Amino acid sequence: MILDKKKNTAGTVVFLAGILLVFAVFDFVKQDIGRDKLLQITTYMDFFLNVKVVNGVYLAEDDYYIEQHLPQTYPASLHEEKLLQITELVQDYPQTQVILIPTADNILTDYLPWQAPYLNERNLLTAVEDAIGDDHVIDVFPAFVEHVQEGVYFKTDSRITSVGAYYIYREWAKTCASFPFWYQLDKLETVKSNFVGDMVATIGVKSDVKDQIKVFPHVLTQQVSINYDNEMTADSYVSENRLTSEDAYDYFLDGDYGVTIIDTEFKNGKALFVLKDDNANVVIPLLAPHYEKIYAVDLQHFTGDLKEYMKDCDIYDQFDVLVMYGCDSFLEEFMY
């Protein structure tokens, strides 16, 4: 092997310095500040390349990060399967009510990039209405469209806010009962003002956009006993310690559990059985004053026999069943 003598010494020094530099760069990349600087560069690149969707998240107008739901991801066979399942549930429990919460791409359409494709969830809702009858479906789409400017969705998270929950509660209350609306939007309390939701983590870039997690004061003051998966108990609908966790949305009903059993202070002999996803965690505390007992089952984490479990719970004077899902998670997670 022949080495160029003249350049050898200088070359070796430069080469070894380069190797040291490689180690230094790695150290820089490992640190948060280094990562942030590099991620900032990719944000500039995305802007330059006119990138409008990153890892399935639309970079929408007004700093909204909106989860993408492509029609191609939800084939017709999946729709049919879910319709059969929900029909069977309604046959077994004729008192069942269904709330399908529209995802942000269906409501914030004006904020989406030009021609951004999305699954038309209105069609899904119509199909569910056709399958089980209008009277079993609580349509929250119009309320969401009407009040979208009030912040029914977070900017950085795929789930609904307390404002969104309020409008769902209001639509539910219209069809199910008559009583005073205790919750007032202007009374909402901010419990976290720098919430960065799951969409930012999904796109993996640095974002300066922050959301606020708000809660109704009534939710904080109610007497309640909650059992999570027979492993943990709590005396509040909210978990303060979750506000500093990786997903601060777990503040509501402590996040994801297979079965959450809620004993309220309202002893009226009524029970509610909720089949739900994450979105429902912010709505359920608003429903609580109408029931003595609430069973909330998240089928993503529930491991038992659902039909048997429902039979076991059906021991109250009034046993209501509520299916409450985001339209996307209804297609992805709901089973009966």
Partner 1 sequence: MDFASFGFIFRFLPIFMILYFVAPEKVKNLVLFLGSLVFYAWGDKTRLTMLFAAIIFDYVLALFMGICKKRWVRFIFFMAGVTLNLSFIALSHQSSWVVPAGTLIYCMQSISYLSECYRGTVQPQKDFIKLGVYISMFPQMNLGPVVGYRDMEEQLSHRKVDVEKVKSGLIRFIVGLAKKVILANSICVFWNTVSAANPEDLSTLTAWIGFASFGFKIYFDFSGYSDMATGLAQIMGFSLKENFNYPFTATSVKDFWSRWQISLSVWFKDYVYIPLGGSRYGILRKWFNMLLTWLLVGAWYGIAYHFYAWGLWFFFWMVLESSFLGKLLEKLPEHVTRIYTWLVIIVSLSFFAADSISQSMDYIMVLFGMKGVGLVDRMALFSLKSQIILIAVAIVSAMPWVHNAAQRLRNSEGGLGMAITRVSEKLFPALLLILTLAYMVKGY
Q: Does 29 bind partner 1 (CB under 8 A)?
A: yes
71/94 with CB nearer partner 1 = 71
Site for partner 1 in 208-247 (CB under 8 A): none
Please state the separation of Cα 330 from the chain's center in Å.
12
Q: How far apart are CA 330 and CA 97, in angstroms?
A: 14
Q: Does 25 bind partner 1 (CB under 8 A)?
A: yes
Q: How far apart are CA 254 and CA 313, in angstroms?
A: 22
| Number of residues located near partner 1, criterion CB under 8 A | 45
Q: Does 23 bind partner 1 (CB under 8 A)?
A: yes
The least CB distance from residue 222 to partner 1, in Å, is: 44
Q: Give the residue, chosen from 33, 50, 244, 267, that forms a contact with partner 1 under the rule CB under 8 A.
A: 50
Contact flags string 245-264 toward partner 1, x per CB under 8 A: --------------------
Q: Give the residue, chosen from 81, 83, 87, 113, that forms a contact with partner 1 under the rule CB under 8 A.
A: 113
Q: How far apart are CA 104 and CA 84, in angstroms?
A: 26
Side chain identity at residue 307, one-letter code: K
Binding segment for partner 1 (CB under 8 A), chosen from 81-89, 107-115, 143-151, 212-220, is: 107-115
Integer distance in angstroms from the first to the last C-alpha of the chain? 72
76/177 with CB nearer partner 1 = 76
The least CB distance from residue 119 to partner 1, in Å, is: 11
Q: Does 115 bind partner 1 (CB under 8 A)?
A: yes
Q: Give the residue, chosen from 32, 33, 49, 186, that forms a contact with partner 1 under the rule CB under 8 A.
A: 49
Q: What separation in angstroms does the CA of 276 have from each of 96, 147, 188, 299?
A: 13, 23, 24, 7
Q: Does 78 bind partner 1 (CB under 8 A)?
A: no
Side chain identity at residue 167, one-letter code: Y
Q: Give the residue, chosen from 17, 31, 41, 182, that forms a contact with partner 1 under the rule CB under 8 A.
A: 41
The least CB distance from residue 200 to partner 1, in Å, is: 13
Q: How far apart are CA 185 and CA 213, in angstroms?
A: 13
Site for partner 1 in 121-150 (CB under 8 A): none
Q: Does 116 bind partner 1 (CB under 8 A)?
A: yes
Q: How far apart are CA 103 and CA 119, in angstroms?
A: 9
12/318 with CB nearer partner 1 = 12
Q: Does 179 bind partner 1 (CB under 8 A)?
A: no
Q: What separation in angstroms does the CA of 207 have from each of 17, 198, 320?
A: 35, 12, 42
Q: Does 70 bind partner 1 (CB under 8 A)?
A: yes
Which residue's structure tokens are 């997690």? Answer: 213
Contact criterion met (CB below 8 Å) for 97 and 322: yes
* DSSP strand pairing (259-264 vs 53-54): unpaired
94/204 with CB nearer partner 1 = 204
Q: Does 79 bind partner 1 (CB under 8 A)?
A: no
Please state the separation of Cα 185 from the chain's center in Å.
20
Q: Quick one: which of 110, 181, 97 has its CA closest to 145?
A: 110
Contact criterion met (CB below 8 Å) for 163 and 150: yes
Contact criterion met (CB below 8 Å) for 237 and 219: yes
Side chain identity at residue 237, one-letter code: Y
Footprint of partner 1 (CB under 8 A): 1-4, 7-8, 10-12, 14-16, 18-19, 22-23, 25-26, 29, 35, 38-39, 41-42, 45, 48-55, 70-73, 75, 113-117, 204-205
